[in-house]
Amino acid sequence: MGDSLQHVTTLPHLPPREADAHKGTFGRVVLVGGTLGMSGAIILAGRAALRSGAGLVYLATPRSILPIVATAESSYLTIALPDDGQGRLLDDALGTLEDILPNKDAVAIGPGLAETEPAARIVRCLFEHCDKPLVLDAGALNLLARCRPWPTAAGPRIITPHPGEFARLTGRPVAEIQADRVGAAAEFARRHGVIVVLKGHGTVITDGIRYAVNQTGNPGLATGGTGDVLTGLTAGLLGQGLEPFAAARLAAHVHGLAGDLAAADRSQPGLIASDLPEYIAAAWTKLEY
């Protein structure tokens, strides 16, 4: 992995919450995703972004599933994106996003996103032209893996693959990646100028210069939807102004800690992704700075 790679063990701090702060102080975050059959993914991400402490959370989701998404949680706002009636985004959705993003602080795309050609164009365009910090997960990662050559980013980029998604991004076998998780993630981060959050036991967070290995979490998190929670939490921290590596590092820690607290109450087999946003609130009380 190279002698110059710095191992980071300290935990970042949240920005202080001043007494005269207002919701705009803590960031405006947009999460893009969802389709028929996977509306829960963007809902989970939205709830996690709210629990991160973000001031305003917007869920930009296909028009045909917006009623489902909007009624699932009253604390976020929703934005209807043009779709084909089956939850698959149309190219016109890009225009809607371009209209709403200028005054936002952070963006995430991918949870529940249908992997279509219009969605691929939207992912690539956001990667290349959105100057906000951008988190890419799930469907967005699979679409990004198709891009040749790798696009040039207009701003900070955090990708949050599990080993299978990372294998598609790199063209390397999962076993090879797992044999040197830090080295594989750091090399990719350095080559492409992104922050990699390689999920799994001992999640690796690296920008190719620094790396951290997360120490929280348990096998109860190996259930559908927990990655969507991490995406929302990461975006929410970016929206509050944390430097991207710090946001990714803190999000991984708090996400795992929430999973540990949930498992202590509900058991590892009984833990489900929708438990985690509630336990994020408890996790903040456990941090020792």
DSSP the chain: --TTPEEP-SPPPPPP--TT--GGGG-EEEEE---TT-HHHHHHHHHHHHHTT-SEEEEEEEGGGHHHHHHH-SSSEEEEE-B-SSSPBPTHHHHHHHHHSTT-SEEEE-TT----HHHHHHHHHHHHH--S-EEE-THHHHHHTT-SSPPPPSS-EEE---HHHHHHHHT--HHHHHHTHHHHHHHHHHHHT-EEEE-STT-EEE-SSEEEE-----GGG-STTHHHHHHHHHHHHHHTT--HHHHHHHHHHHHHHHHHHHHHHH-STT--GGGHHHHHHHHHHH---
* Banded model confidence at residue 288, pLDDT cuts 50, 70, 90: low
Per-residue model confidence as pLDDT tens digits over 161-192: 999 999 999 999 999 999 999 999 999 999 99
**pLDDT of res. 1:** 47
Predicted structure pTM score: 0.96
Per-residue model confidence as pLDDT tens digits over 216-246: 999 999 999 999 999 999 999 999 999 999 9
* Banded model confidence at residue 289, pLDDT cuts 50, 70, 90: low
Residue 148: pLDDT above 90? no
Per-residue model confidence as pLDDT tens digits over 58-113: 999 999 999 999 999 999 999 999 999 999 999 999 999 999 999 999 999 999 99
Mean pLDDT value of segment 181-204? 97
Q: What percent of the chain has pLDDT over 70?
A: 98
Taken in order of first residue, the domains within the chain and their CATH numbers are 24-283 (3.40.1190.20)
**pLDDT of res. 3:** 58
**pLDDT of res. 276:** 98
The Cα 109–Cα 122 span in angstroms is 10
Per-residue model confidence as pLDDT tens digits over 236-282: 999 999 999 999 999 999 999 999 999 999 999 999 999 999 999 99
